[in-house]
Structure 1
Amino acid sequence: MKFQHVLLLVFLWNVSLFSEQDEAFFETQRKRLSSSDIFEIRDAIDRLTFIKSNRGYRDILSALEGTPNFPTSENNAPAVKFYAAKALAKKGDKIAIPVLIKTFQKESASIIEYNPPKVRKISDGVADRHSTSSPYFYGDGEISIVLACGEMLRALGSLPTTESSEQTIKQALSHPNFYIRSSAADAMYESDRKVWISSLADGLGKEQVPYAKISILSAIVGLERLPNQNFKAVTEMLSHDDPEVRKKASQALRRLDLRIAAPYLEKAILVENHPNVLSQMKEDHSYLISFRYP
């Protein structure tokens, strides 16, 4: 009996120790989320994202909202909102929807219309690097509020649909900023609901900016998964002057998920000179020709 009591005490001590370590983990991440270092905050968000427990959910939501009393704080940086939105999409709980909508509406209200005034060079890296509306290739230090708002929309699309999230996404498809429109199209694809096809088709008919146009086409093709005229339009975008448009076209063919798209990517790969786009095309081509169980 004494031996059994000893075992019980050891077990309870281990459980207590684990709980203390567990609490210490969350407290550490909360402190890191208050840091002025973007990379420290990002790592804390990542750690809270990939644990099985949902206890860190509200900490990620707080990171998304930021600290309104200190507007210049690093905690309000677009990069923090960008990574928090990505994390909430991965966690997949509908508790995030109201905060995502509120934050998106607040931040997107000040985003102006933006159409690239000139053809970008690959060496530019980002279109008009100092613009707050640069949606193209970027590094951690170049994430704008436009990118963050786009990620919030994609997160909304990946979460369970509500009337409010549906309305927010639909309204965003006609936003003055082309990157917000393209992100709304991505959100519609992420929702995996064919009812969006008619809204996307309407948006496609009005769209003039190539980046937003290929995003809308990509969503339609991903939802339809048919070798039709939309599929043909995507293949033609593989030769567009803008590298990010070519990248989106490649991703669209992957969404189609039919082997008939592979030869178009093979041809595009032979002439592609942008390393990011080439990497994307090769990845998408490998996916299309790979053997997968139905």
Structure 2
Amino acid sequence: MKFRYLALLLCFVHFSVYAEKADSFYETQRKRLNSSNIFEIRDAIDQLTFVNSNRGIRDILSALEGTPNFPTSENNAPAVKFYAAKALAKKGEKIAVPVLIKTFQKESTTLVEHNPPKVRKISDGVFDRTSTSSPYFYEDGEISMVLACGEMLRTLGSLPITEASESTIKQALSHPNFYIRSSAADAMYETNSKQWLSTLSEGLGKEQVPYAKISILAAIVGLERLPNQNMKSVTEMLSDQNPEVRKKASEALRRLDLRLSAPYLEKAIQVENHPMVLSQMKEDYAYLISFRTP
């Protein structure tokens, strides 16, 4: 009896210590989210994302919303919203949907078709990159609100779909900014629902910007997974002049997940000269030829 009592006491003490440490952890991350240092805020978001608990999800949602009373605060920086949206996708909780919609609608209304290009120098380590809305080739300090809004859309697509999120994603496919349209297509693919095929096909017929076009095609072939004309169109875009388009085309073939598309990637790899695109193509090619159980 005494042994059982002692064991229960030890369990209670252990639980109390654990609870106290947990409380301290979340309080620390909450304070770091109010920092003026974007990198510290990002690390706090990461800590709350990968801990084996959803206790910090409301703190991540608060980071996504920012501090409206202090518009110039670093807490409202696009990078904070970008990483918060990514974190919410990993958490996968439906509770995030209303806040994502509200924040996206608030921030996306001021976005135009093209962002002013930023002049870069070789010393920046980003020679020959001119677009601040680059969907792949960016640094932490150059994450724009366009990128953040795009990430919010993709997260909406990965979470359980509601009537409101479905409407938001559909409307975004006709947004003035090409990257938002592209992200809407990504979100439709993330839902893994073929109900979007007719909407995507309609959007494809209207799209003129190559990057948004390949994004829509990538969503279509990823949902169809058929060796048809859409697949052929994707393979043709592996030779586009824009490296971002080529990278997206490579990912589209991976989504297609048909081994017969591997030779097209193999041929593209032989002439690719952009390091990041080449790395993506090699990764996608290895995936397509790998042995996987159904």
> CA offsets, 1:155-206, max 9 Å, x none?
0001111110000000000000000000000000000110101111111111
Amino acid at match of 1:215: S
1:124-163 to structure 2, matched below 5 A, reads 124=127, 126-129=129-132, 133-163=133-163
Post-superposition shift, 1:36? 1.2
Cα distance in 2, alignment partners of residues 66 and 87 from structure 1: 15
Amino acid at match of 2:5: H
1:1-294 to structure 2, matched below 5 A, reads 1-114=1-114, 124=127, 126-129=129-132, 133-294=133-294
**Aligned residues between the structures:** 289
Cα distance in 1, alignment partners of residues 183 and 168 from structure 2: 12
Residues 127 and 135 in structure 1, CA contact (< 8 A), matched pair in contact too: no
> CA offsets, 1:58-87, max 9 Å, x none?
001000000111111111110000000011
Partner SS for 2:239 = coil
Pair 1:293–1:134, CA change in 2 (3 A): closer
Cα distance in 1, alignment partners of residues 162 and 39 from structure 2: 33
Residues 37 and 74 in structure 1, CA contact (< 8 A), matched pair in contact too: yes
Partner SS for 1:138 = coil
Cα distance in 2, alignment partners of residues 72 and 212 from structure 1: 31
Over aligned residues, Cα RMSD in angstroms? Answer: 1.8
Cα distance in 2, alignment partners of residues 42 and 153 from structure 1: 19
Amino acid at match of 1:77: A
Question: Which segments of 5 or more consecutive residues in structure 1 lack a partner in the other structure?
Answer: none
Residues 33 and 45 in structure 2, CA contact (< 8 A), matched pair in contact too: yes
Question: Which segments of 5 or more consecutive residues in structure 2 lack a partner in the other structure?
Answer: none
Amino acid at match of 1:208: Q
Residues 36 and 75 in structure 2, CA contact (< 8 A), matched pair in contact too: yes
Residues 115 and 131 in structure 2, CA contact (< 8 A), matched pair in contact too: no
Residues 115 and 209 in structure 1, CA contact (< 8 A), matched pair in contact too: no
Post-superposition shift, 1:116? 8.9
Post-superposition shift, 1:123? 5.4
Percent identity of paired positions between Structure 1 and Structure 2: 76
